[in-house]
Amino acid sequence: MARSFKLLLLSTALSFFATSALAVEQQGTSLLWAGCGITKKAFMAELAKAYEKKTGIKVNLKGGGATKGIRNASKGAIDIGGACRPIIDGHAEERSAYQVPVAWDALVVIVHPKNPVDTISVRQLQDIYTGKIKNWNQLGGWDKPIELYVRRGKISGVGRTLRELVFANFDQSFAGAKHIVRSSGPLEKGIQTNMLGLGTTGISSAKRRKVKILKLNGKEPNYENIKSGSYVLYRPLYLVTKGRASADKKVKEFITFALSREGRGVIKRAGSVPYSDAMGLVMKQIEQYDDATDKGLHQTAAKR
């Protein structure tokens, strides 16, 4: 099962990394990119700047979130989308989208900078989200209630990936939620000012905020730990187009640049792990996705 996801990861990795670099024309035109804010902060700003310097083609960057990035790219409303989750099978709005994984990101648990807690386990994280752990003293902190921030809905990039990696259940409810916000930006800003707050977001945006990033199972979400998979909450970041064959030539050339040695260097200097630097994570991710999808299907069937 999850066949389309498997084919996406494996075929994309093999085909794109084997492709020789295309000659990029000096066209003086522009591209519109929109989507996941975490992907934007992870490497897109630096990649767009490097590409414009090389080709004269400006890449205009907008936000909107992973779901809008996928769906707007699918219908051709934008040139390229950005996403931190895969296409969801069964959603007609995403059927025409084609995703190219270009980097690895990590989900991180963030708290206020003055919070004395420094580390958390995956099991403790599960218990916080399900409402079993409610007080900071259960984590070695203050005798104060934990105020959990979560993303609205279940298909956002962070929300869906969190359910996949931590719960192996795409339909998991978060009974411990105190604050429900529309995107990662308000979540991060809320925790910057709330000494009792806790939430999960992408490291690429978290490291640009005044928050504390907790160790997970004793591991820091640094380059080497993400690359090796020893930091367990990793995920790909994607560029999204309207189908592979129908993508505009300028779009294909930008993606080729992103996957080239030069582009990978830009991504690495921006602080993210290029996708091809950690291909060993692909099979691990497929196994995680299968577990989450299978469990979700079983629970959906049980409700009928």
CATH code: domain 3-105+233-300 is 3.40.190.10
The rounded distance, in Å, linking the Cα atoms of 298 and 43 is 37
What is the pLDDT, as a whole number, of residue 153? 87
What is the pLDDT, as a whole number, of residue 248? 82
3 state DSSP class of 85: coil
Q: Regarding beta strands 30-35 and 58-64, do their DSSP bridges make them parallel or antiparallel, or are they unpaired?
A: parallel
Common-topology check for domains 3-105+233-300 and 106-228: yes
What is the pLDDT, as a whole number, of residue 294? 52
What is the pLDDT, as a whole number, of residue 253? 94
Q: What is the sign of the dihedral through the CA atoms of 89, 95, 100 and 105?
A: negative
CATH code: domain 106-228 is 3.40.190.10
**Cα 18 from chain centroid?**
24
Domain ranges of the chain: 3-105+233-300, 106-228
Cα angle vertex 41, ends 21, 235, to 5°? Answer: 75
192 Ramachandran zone, left/alpha/beta (phi>0; psi -120 to 50): alpha
**Tokens standing for 225?**
């730990």
Residue 28 CA: distances (Å) to CA of 51, 53, 117: 12, 11, 51
What is the pLDDT, as a whole number, of residue 299? 46
Cα-flanking dihedrals φ and ψ of residue 240, to 5°?
-125, 135
Q: What is the sign of the dihedral through the CA atoms of 175, 181, 187 and 190?
A: negative
Each residue's pLDDT expressed in tens, for the chain with a length of 304 residues: 444 444 445 455 444 444 433 333 344 489 999 999 889 988 999 999 999 999 999 999 998 889 999 999 999 999 999 999 999 888 898 988 999 999 999 999 999 999 999 999 999 999 999 999 999 999 999 999 999 999 988 888 899 999 999 999 999 999 999 999 988 889 999 999 999 999 999 998 898 899 999 999 999 999 999 988 899 999 899 999 998 765 688 999 999 999 999 999 999 999 899 999 988 887 766 665 555 555 544 443 444 4
